[in-house]
Amino acid sequence: MHVPHWIERKREGGELKPEEIRVLIGQFTAGHVPDYQMAAMAMAIFFRGMTETETAALTAAMRDSGRVFKWPAGTPPKVDKHSTGGIGDKVSLVLAPLLACENFWVPMVSGRGLGITGGTLDKLESIPGFNVHLSGEAALRQIEKIGLFMAGQTADFCPADKKLYALRDVTGTVPSQALIIASIMSKKLAESLDRLVLDVKFGSGAFMKTREEAEALAAGLSAAGNGNGVRTTALLTPMDEPLGQTVGNALEVAESVETLQNRGPADLVELTLELCVAVTDLPREIFRRHLESGAAWDKFLKLVEEQQGDARALENLAAFHPAPEVATIPAPNDGVIRRIDAKAIGLASVLLGAGRMVAADTIDFAVGFSGIRKTGEPVTKGEPLLAIHARDTAGLAMARQAVERAIVIE
Ligand code: URA
């Protein structure tokens, strides 16, 4: 192993062999390749990119850096979804129980909020008592019992990604397509899935701002999945306005509960059903019936109980997490809503405390936005456009300003 030589080859636009990548990642995980060499390699990859073969090898090496789920023979097909992140995206909370209702196993390993986009783990932790720290053994027991778990990464799950992501975060190498693909897909591949659906978002509130960028990322993610034996499909979905009508952790769980009880907003319901269809090839109506019959809600209750959450709190999470300052924002004039900028709402939600500015920040579960209207809707002057939930009057004033700039009515 001569790491400087590999770095130089990549720096000059050459290709690394799969075996070299495997050794590099293995030795980096074991602490034998220092951070400065790995950071230099990440920068070389950032500028030179990787071929499909290199990216697949990097993904597989990162998957194999830790625990890979091994499922007992003869058990149901394992399926999951990954979203590249959006504002108000609470799809996972509805989709996982829906898929489990159809006797799929859903081993969902999720992440926390990243930048202005929310994370499933933070949302789940707004449910009092909910435990996202499952050992591999506990996760297997639970999936055998109820068909799903929703948990965070354990220390032995893709440790190479944990180390490399921390380095990328501080060396300007996060937005490398090859590194993003390997980071996302190594974690999904370690779930040993049969099928995966990707929700690749584009627009103001997404990582990828244009459809073209999202298409390129979707193609790369799908190739890494399919190239490693997981049938992977991707949907490209817009993220110019928040999904559903809420942004903020407890508020989003409350909206997910309503959706599981068949009272959800149309955009959230339809996207969730579309993703269920894409990952199973089953008709949409089957999943819609699980919302109508209460089966999906029952499954979610089981999930919460299994993971020590207080199921009784679910239907009244607002009371568990009351925001001291709540105010509605009225429409300033008659017209049609032309824009509710997802980026501005996402940023305001982080500033309110719903996300983190630095990794050590704690999340304020109560704050965010509710009752968010949709673009294309007509409004009359004075009608509420949304409600702000803030910890204090300063937060309320900040969010009010942000919202007034984010919403365009013409
Ligand atoms: N999400 C990840 O898990 N990794 C990335 O590199 C980017 C988004």
pLDDT tens by residue, 42-66: 999 999 999 999 999 999 999 999 9
Whether ligand 1 lies within 6 angstroms of the CB of 177 is answered as no
- Segment among 23-32, 127-136, 229-238, 352-361 with least mean pLDDT: 352-361
In the set 64, 89, 122, 161, the catalytic residue is 161
Residue 318 is predicted with a pLDDT of 84
Whether the Cβ atoms of residue 64 and residue 30 lie closer than 8 Å to each other: no
Q: Domain residue spans in the chain? A: 3-63, 79-314, 322-409
Residue 360 is predicted with a pLDDT of 82
* Rounded distance between C-alpha atoms, residue 52 and residue 215, angstroms: 15
Query: What is the mean predicted confidence (pLDDT) over 333-342?
Result: 98
Residue 407 is predicted with a pLDDT of 97
Q: Which of 89, 153, 165, 171 maximizes ligand 1 atoms within 8 Å of its Cβ, making it the mutation to test the pocket?
A: 165
Q: Which residues are within 8 A (CB) of 280 and not within 5 positions of it... i.e. 6 or more apart?
A: 79, 99, 102, 104, 195
For residue 189, name the pLDDT band (cuts at 50, 70, 90).
very high
Residue 141 is predicted with a pLDDT of 97
Pairing of strands 106-110, 148-152: parallel
pLDDT tens-digit map of 9-42 = 999 999 999 999 999 999 999 999 999 999 999 9
Query: What is the mean predicted confidence (pLDDT) over 369-395?
Result: 98
Residue 187 is predicted with a pLDDT of 95
In terms of CATH architecture, what is 79-314?
A: 3-Layer(aba) Sandwich (3.40)
Q: Which atom of ligand 1 is nearest to the CA of 111?
A: 3
Cα-Cα-Cα-Cα torsion 156, 157, 159, 160, nearest 10 degrees, comes to 140
Q: 3-63: what fold?
A: 1.20.970
CA of 336 to the centre of ligand 1 (A): 36
The beta-strand segments (E) located in 292-334 are: 325-330
Whether the Cβ atoms of residue 116 and residue 355 lie closer than 8 Å to each other: yes
Query: What is the mean predicted confidence (pLDDT) over 342-349?
Result: 96
Nearest Cα to Cα of residue 11 among 37, 34, 35: 37
In this structure, whether the domain defined by 322-409 belongs to CATH 3.30.1330.10 is answered with no
Whether ligand 1 lies within 6 angstroms of the CB of 254 is answered as no
In single-letter form, the type of residue at position 256 comes to: S
Whether ligand 1 lies within 6 angstroms of the CB of 184 is answered as yes
CA distances from 365 to 51, 89, 121, 301, 322 (A): 42, 15, 12, 20, 9
Output the residue whose Cα is nearest ligand 1's atom 3: 184
pLDDT tens-digit map of 77-119 = 999 999 999 999 999 999 999 999 999 999 999 988 888 888 9
Which ranges constitute the DSSP H helices of 120-200?
120-124, 136-146, 159-169, 177-189
Query: What is the mean predicted confidence (pLDDT) over 191-212?
Result: 95
CA of 21 to the centre of ligand 1 (A): 19
Q: What is the pTM of this model?
A: 0.94
Residue 184 is predicted with a pLDDT of 94
For residue 374, name the pLDDT band (cuts at 50, 70, 90).
very high
Q: Quick check: do 3-63 and 79-314 share a fold? A: no
Nearest Cα to Cα of residue 99 among 148, 43, 26, 164: 148
Output the residue whose Cα is nearest ligand 1's atom 6: 180
Whether ligand 1 lies within 6 angstroms of the CB of 180 is answered as yes
Which tokens hold the place of 169?
A: 């975060």
Annotated active-site residue 334? The verdict is no
Whether the Cβ atoms of residue 232 and residue 198 lie closer than 8 Å to each other: yes
